């Protein structure tokens, strides 16, 4: 059975159920989740045809609920050209002219770097020794992070260990290479590689020099946002922006699929369910934009493009709520609670709580979740924007084990249900969220 036939069958089934009920059905939630995180979509890799199929599915669902094209758009998809570097051959590290045979590229841009091994230190507290390769003309300080920032381009070489292996796993089992908007001039890039103990010992000899080569090709790709609009009763009331990201890590270098059920098929399903319920009820006072972004995993390209090319002026957006990873409860919170990233930065979270939302402040501020999701691109542009989330750092996070059967289905359904009335209130109210003093991010 071809992918197109499967997609058509799923659309017919899910669409038919949606017309019959307006509550949150566990069966419907699971049907959406099974499709988005199923083998046919191959992990919905950023800026891949699989991501485009996921976007088309979401757009078709939103359209089936009776939602309209967003103002100024001719369809329900926003296609964004991007330029991606693809590794063409294994990275090569020469130390004093001799090749190292235990090099793993973790991240970096294609090209050649070379210079003296000038700085010894640690990338972060608790990590093993690392070295920094800097151009001969540079004047490195004793601080690796500061030196990297000053240089703009350098190579960090770390000892291969569990942390370096986890870094590879977190990027889908392959090195993370740059992606940019097609018309963007890429900035200077850094590279990070992991090496074994023998190579690290060679690097730490006094006066050692190193050259790293990363062969690459360029791929012209497209990432896709799915966008739909529910008009409001009062054109002067502004617009509520509800979002999730539909991409994940795709297929690893060894052919393994990284399904991304919790991250973030779960948030995309929440977006669909809330859109369906809102469309089935009375038209809200505010208009509502429902957006599923592409390429969050590769640098927030979908949300950044949307922020620069919004279908309505950003000044008209009263607030943005992103839904992410709601398939697992937050260990540090009560069993029925979600966390809102950046809760203290605005008055939105408290207002939603006052109207029944089961949201608490983010109990993991050291993880900087507020800056790590699509809400941040809108927050930087002045929109009061937060992410509502379950727990992301579960054992399945950014692994091939993030499958639908690992989702806490009961928690996910309750989470979606708990958001329905507060979001309906926000869409109907005259309350406009504002940033707390110092709460709006600037960089």
pLDDT at 166: 81
pLDDT at 329: 95
pLDDT at 296: 96
| Bridge-based pairing state of the strands 191-195 and 155-159 | parallel
Contact partners, residue 237, CB within 8 Å, separation at least 6: 285, 286, 287, 318, 430
Contact 275, 267 (CB under 8 A): no
Strand segments (E) across 60-183: 77-87, 92-95, 98-99, 104-107, 111-121, 130-134, 155-159, 179-181
Is the bond preceding 84 in cis, omega lying within 30 degrees of 0? no
Length of the chain: 443
| 330-337 contacts, C-beta under 8 A, 24 or more apart | 330/363, 330/389, 330/390, 330/391, 331/391, 332/363, 332/364, 333/360, 333/363, 334/360, 335/411, 336/411, 336/414, 336/418
Contact partners, residue 348, CB within 8 Å, separation at least 6: 319, 321, 340, 384, 386, 433
Strand segments (E) across 256-345: 257-258, 287-293, 317-324, 338-340
Rounded percentage of the chain residues whose pLDDT exceeds 90: 66
Backbone torsions φ then ψ of 362, nearest 5 degrees:
-65, 115
DSSP letter assigned to residue 395: T
Residue 170 — pLDDT band, cuts 50, 70, 90?
A: confident
pLDDT tens, residue by residue, 283-332 = 999 999 999 999 999 999 999 999 999 999 999 999 999 999 999 999 99
Contact 195, 94 (CB under 8 A): no
Residue 153 — pLDDT band, cuts 50, 70, 90?
A: low
Backbone torsions φ then ψ of 282, nearest 5 degrees:
-65, 145
Mean model confidence pLDDT for the chain: 87
Mean pLDDT along residues 384-412: 95
| DSSP for 396-433, written as a single string | TTTSTT--GGGS-HHHHHHHHHHHHHHHHHHHHSS---
pLDDT at 316: 97
Residue 223 has pLDDT above 60, yes or no: yes
Q: Is 323 exposed, middle or buried (0-12, 13-18, 19+ CB in 10 A)?
A: buried
> How would you list the strands of the sheet with 179-181, edge to edge?
179-181, 77-87, 216-230, 287-293, 239-245, 317-324, 385-389, 338-340, 359-361
Residue 200 — pLDDT band, cuts 50, 70, 90?
A: confident
pLDDT tens, residue by residue, 3-18 = 543 454 444 444 433 3
Exposure class string for 60-96: b at 16+ Cβ within 10 A, else e: bbbbbbebebbeeeeebbbebebbbbebeeebbbebe
Query: d(Cα 16, Cα 28) in Å, to the nearest integer?
Result: 10
Contact 153, 145 (CB under 8 A): no
Q: Which of 133, 75, 78 is nearest to 100 (CA)?
A: 133
pLDDT at 119: 54
Contact 307, 317 (CB under 8 A): no
Residue 434 — pLDDT band, cuts 50, 70, 90?
A: very high
pLDDT at 9: 44
Query: d(Cα 205, Cα 436) in Å, to the nearest integer?
Result: 52
Residue 70 has pLDDT above 80, yes or no: yes
| Bridge-based pairing state of the strands 130-134 and 98-99 | unpaired
Q: Which ranges in 65-184 belong to alpha helices (H)?
A: 144-151, 162-170
Neighbour count for residue 20 (Cβ, 10 Å): 8
Is the pTM higher than 0.75? yes
> 260 in helix, strand or coil?
coil
Query: d(Cα 242, Cα 423) in Å, to the nearest integer?
Result: 9
């Amino acid at each position: 059975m071809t992918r197109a036939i499967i997609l058509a069958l799923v659309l017919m089934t899910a669409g038919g159920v949606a017309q019959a009920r307006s509550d949150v059905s566990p069966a419907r939630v699971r049907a959406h989740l099974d499709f988005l995180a199923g083998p046919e979509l191959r992990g919905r890799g950023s800026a891949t045809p699989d991501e485009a199929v996921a976007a088309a599915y979401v757009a078709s669902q939103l359209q089936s609920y009776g939602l309209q094209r967003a103002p100024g758009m001719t369809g329900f998809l926003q296609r964004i050209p991007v330029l991606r570097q693809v590794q063409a051959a294994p990275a090569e590290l020469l130390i004093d002219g001799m090749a190292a045979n235990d090099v793993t590229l973790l991240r970096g841009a294609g090209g050649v770097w070379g210079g003296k091994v000038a700085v010894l230190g640690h990338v972060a507290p608790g990590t093993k020794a690392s070295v920094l390769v800097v151009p001969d003309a540079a004047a490195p300080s004793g601080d690796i992070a500061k030196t990297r920032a000053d240089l703009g381009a350098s190579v960090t070489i770390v000892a291969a260990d569990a942390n370096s292996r986890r870094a590879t796993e977190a990027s889908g089992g392959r090195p993370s290479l740059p992606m940019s908007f097609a018309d963007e001039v890429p900035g200077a890039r850094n590279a990070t590689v992991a090496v074994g103990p023998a190579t690290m010992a060679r690097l730490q000899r006094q006066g050692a020099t190193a050259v790293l080569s990363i062969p690459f090709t360029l791929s012209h790709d497209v990432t896709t946002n799915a966008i739909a609009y529910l008009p409001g009763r009062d054109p002067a009331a502004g617009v509520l922006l509800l979002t999730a990201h539909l991409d994940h890590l795709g297929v690893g270098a060894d052919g393994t699929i990284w399904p991304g059920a919790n991250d973030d098929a779960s948030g995309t399903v929440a977006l669909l369910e809330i859109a369906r319920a809102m469309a089935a009820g009375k038209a809200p006072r505010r208009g509502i934009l429902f957006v599923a972004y592409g390429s969050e995993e590769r640098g927030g390209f979908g949300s950044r493009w949307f922020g620069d090319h919004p279908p309505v002026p950003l000044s008209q957006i009263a607030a943005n709520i992103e839904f992410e990873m709601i398939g697992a409860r937050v260990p540090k919170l009560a069993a029925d609670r979600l966390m809102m990233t950046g809760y203290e930065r605005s008055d939105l979270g408290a207002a939603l709580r006052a109207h029944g939302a089961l949201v608490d402040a983010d109990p993991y501020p050291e993880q900087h979740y507020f800056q790590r999701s699509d809400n941040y691109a809108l927050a930087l542009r002045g929109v009061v924007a937060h992410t509502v989330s379950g727990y992301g750092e579960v054992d399945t996070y950014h692994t091939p084990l993030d499958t639908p059967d690992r989702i806490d289905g009961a928690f996910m359904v309750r989470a979606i249900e708990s958001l329905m009335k507060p979001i309906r209130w926000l869409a109907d109210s005259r309350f406009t969220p504002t940033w707390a003093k110092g709460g709006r991010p600037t960089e």
